[in-house]
Structure 1
């Protein structure tokens, strides 16, 4: 019921990989405690409901709810909605996208963090089926108007402002705002055309490591210097000494994906291993490979020599 991209057998996955069967695919971005998700799955048992949520606590509550109610047509992903849209949804396959009460990021300096911007609507059009739609419900009028304008810029949607469906007003936040007397706003964005720019899934790799010749250093004085990536950044946050070497807590930000993972520098039967730890089953992306390559280059400055390069970043 929980989707772990690093453990999926095929990439990108299809509905059969995630649900074990075909059916109308629905994505809910920001499912909160899952009460709306569960109601949706019960009302449409033939639908395949994929939910994305950034709050780990909310994912756990929703997971327990789905287990308790025995809902087999729901899969939950802990992470950003755009990542799920890009990597867990095949092109042209989505019947519906539901966004209930998204974070409005009301301060002007934070508005670039808003989900429903022109770029998102363009990318969404590549994943929606013909006639597929996004349903937005919010209590924040300024963000609502903003979303209408951003979608209108694309020319890819028919936009209809309607009263919100009653089921959309039974979410955790809807009940809270209803009690506070706030008004609600609802719109349906139906795909009428598709953006021509390709939006391929992020590339996933099996391994990212290097083997080096030399002696394990006594210390690993890595600076917290940002490493620029294409569309992101990586930072070595902290180094800890273990029994067989070093663990490096590393932060990697890429488009639609942020990971905190452990890299290792340790002795092995084949030399000094510098690469990704299995802890947490991180997704091996180009950004992760760049971080490993940067770690190996730093080890070269300490006198080690690269014997085998499995980063794909030209260490030798």
Structure 2
């Protein structure tokens, strides 16, 4: 029921890899505590519902709700919606996207963080089936108008402003804001054309490590300067000494994916191992490999020599 990309047997996965069967695929971005998701799954048992949510606490609450109610046609992903759309949804396979009460990021300087921008609508068109749609419900009128303008600018959707479906007003926040007397806004964005630029899934690697010869240094001091990546950044946050060597807490940000992971520098039977720790099952991406390369370069400055490079 919980999707862990690093543990999926195939990459990118197909619908059957996630759900064990084929069927109409629906993506919900920001499912909160899962009450709407559960209602939707029970109302449409033939649908296969993939939910994406950045709050770990919300994922846990939704997971417990789905288990408690015996719902089997939902898969939950803890992370950004665009990552799930890009990497967990095959091209032209998505029947519907549901976005209920997204963060409006009302301050001008934060608007670049809004989900429903022209670039998102363009990329979404590569994943929707012909006639597939996105349903937006929000209480924030300015964001609602913004989303309409961004979708219209893409030229890929037919826009319809409607009354919100009653089911969309039974989310946690909708119930709270309905009591406060707020107004709600709803639109349907139906795909009528597709962006010509492909949007391939990120490349996942099996390993990211190097073997070196030489002596482990007594101390490992790494620069805290952010390492620029294509579309992101990596930072060595902290170094800790263990019985076998060093552990390096590393922060890696890439497009729609942020990971905090451990890198290791330790003595092995074949020399000194420098690479990704399996703790937490991180997704090994190009950004993670670049962080390992930077670590190996620092070890080279300390006098170690690379004998095998798998970075």
- Asked if these proteins are the same fold (TM beyond 0.5), I'd say yes
Deviations 1:137-159 (A, max 9, x none): 00000000000000000000000
The equivalent residue for 2:167 is 167
Distance (whole Å) between structure 1 residues aligned to residue 64 and residue 171 of structure 2: 17
Distance (whole Å) between structure 2 residues aligned to residue 197 and residue 256 of structure 1: 18
Distance (whole Å) between structure 1 residues aligned to residue 171 and residue 304 of structure 2: 57
The equivalent residue for 1:135 is 135
- Give the 3-state SS of the residue equivalent to 1:288 in structure 2: helix
Deviation at 1:282, TM superposition (A): 0.1
Gaps of 5+ in 2: none
Distance (whole Å) between structure 2 residues aligned to residue 244 and residue 156 of structure 1: 56
- Give the 3-state SS of the residue equivalent to 1:147 in structure 2: helix
- Give the 3-state SS of the residue equivalent to 2:273 in structure 1: strand
The equivalent residue for 2:271 is 271
Distance (whole Å) between structure 2 residues aligned to residue 119 and residue 32 of structure 1: 24
Distance (whole Å) between structure 2 residues aligned to residue 40 and residue 67 of structure 1: 15
Pairing 1:227-242 to 2, within 5 Å after superposition: 227-242=227-242
The equivalent residue for 1:314 is none
The equivalent residue for 2:251 is 251
- TM-score, normalized by length of structure 1? 0.98
- Give the 3-state SS of the residue equivalent to 2:36 in structure 1: helix
Distance (whole Å) between structure 1 residues aligned to residue 153 and residue 298 of structure 2: 46
- TM-score, normalized by length of structure 2? 1.00
After superposition, the CA RMSD in angstroms is: 0.3
Distance (whole Å) between structure 2 residues aligned to residue 231 and residue 284 of structure 1: 16
Pairing 1:26-175 to 2, within 5 Å after superposition: 26-175=26-175
Deviation at 1:173, TM superposition (A): 0.4
- Give the 3-state SS of the residue equivalent to 2:28 in structure 1: strand
Deviations 1:92-135 (A, max 9, x none): 00000000000000000100000000000000000000000000
Distance (whole Å) between structure 2 residues aligned to residue 12 and residue 159 of structure 1: 31
The equivalent residue for 2:8 is 8
- Give the 3-state SS of the residue equivalent to 1:216 in structure 2: coil
Distance (whole Å) between structure 1 residues aligned to residue 177 and residue 40 of structure 2: 21
Distance (whole Å) between structure 1 residues aligned to residue 13 and residue 105 of structure 2: 32
Gaps of 5+ in 1: 312-316
Deviation at 1:223, TM superposition (A): 1.7
Distance (whole Å) between structure 2 residues aligned to residue 180 and residue 224 of structure 1: 47
- Give the 3-state SS of the residue equivalent to 1:168 in structure 2: helix
Distance (whole Å) between structure 2 residues aligned to residue 114 and residue 216 of structure 1: 46
Distance (whole Å) between structure 1 residues aligned to residue 106 and residue 35 of structure 2: 26
Deviations 1:141-184 (A, max 9, x none): 00000000000000000000000000000000000110000000
The equivalent residue for 1:302 is 302
> 4+ residue stretches of structure 1 with deviation over 2 A?
none
Deviation at 1:90, TM superposition (A): 0.2
Distance (whole Å) between structure 2 residues aligned to residue 217 and residue 197 of structure 1: 48
Distance (whole Å) between structure 2 residues aligned to residue 227 and residue 306 of structure 1: 21
Give the length in aligned residue pairs: 311
Distance (whole Å) between structure 2 residues aligned to residue 14 and residue 174 of structure 1: 33
- Give the 3-state SS of the residue equivalent to 1:103 in structure 2: coil
Deviates further, 35-44 or 216-225: 216-225
Deviations 1:183-206 (A, max 9, x none): 000000000000001100000000
